[in-house]
Structures are given as structure tokens and as C-alpha cells.
Amino acid sequence: MVKVEVNFAVKVPAVTRALFEKLAGVTASTLKVKADYNLSVALVSPAAIKKLNQKYRLKNKATDVLSFDDVAEIIICPYQAAANAKKFRHSVKREVAFLFVHGFLHLLGHNDQTAGAALKMKELGDKILIKFGLPK
């Protein structure tokens, strides 16, 4: 079972605690995660995620998602998600869901350090979103 704690530092229409809880369940069942898992997700401003990105990745820019496996936390910037959604021509809800799944995959040990690994992670994320009912 996956337990999800959500911190809405910023509000996002159509994004709820239930969305993350259900996505976590679909992700865990798809990957056959057997152990109990507690994770936290926070939706933050561009300034907040930029500060974290600078501190932990030494990149002085806002990003869309960060994950911290040592504390099982996913940080999402919905403003960056909205820009991504526009670019990829889908809803902000789908993009936030994709970023959550992407972050959770990192917490479960997946990486995107090479082009091949990044493609595999994206395909896995898309598969989970399709199972969840949020196709491209």
C-alpha cells in the first residue's frame, strides 16, 4: 500500500490529493511494488523549485519536478507543468500526473541519465497514465 501526503503550497484546479493517491496505487500495482511505501508530494511556486534546484542540483533555474529518495518526496511546479502541457498539447492535470509518476519512478530506483533510460522511463510513465485513464 502506498500512502501519500500532499502539501499544496500553490493551488491547481483539477489536481487533488485523491489524484496522487490513485496514481501512486496504479504505479505500485503496475510495477508490482509489494512493500508499504510512504511518500510526500508538494506543489510549489517557480521560485521555490528554482531554489531547491539550485541547492541540490546546482542548476539556477526553475524545473518541473524534483524527487528526493532519501525522504521519499516529490516536488512539482504546476506553473512549469502548465508550460509543458501547452507545449505537449495536453491538459495540466495530465502533465502534473505525468510529473508525479516520473518522480515516483525515480524514488523506486529508475533513472533517466541516458537517452535510452529516459525513453524507457517515459514509456513506463505513459503506460501507467494510460492504465489510470489519462492517455496522451
pLDDT in tens, 44-101: 999 999 999 999 999 999 999 999 999 999 999 999 999 999 999 999 999 999 999 9
Q: Is the pLDDT of residue 114 over 90?
A: yes
The parent domain of residue 94 ranges over 2-132
Q: Is the pLDDT of residue 130 over 80?
A: yes
Which pLDDT value is given to residue 34?
A: 85
| Domain CATH code at residue 98 | 3.40.390.30
Q: What is the rounded distance in angstroms from the CA atom of residue 62 to the CA atom of residue 126?
A: 24
Residues ≥6 apart with Cβ < 8 Å to 16: none
- How many domains, the chain? 1
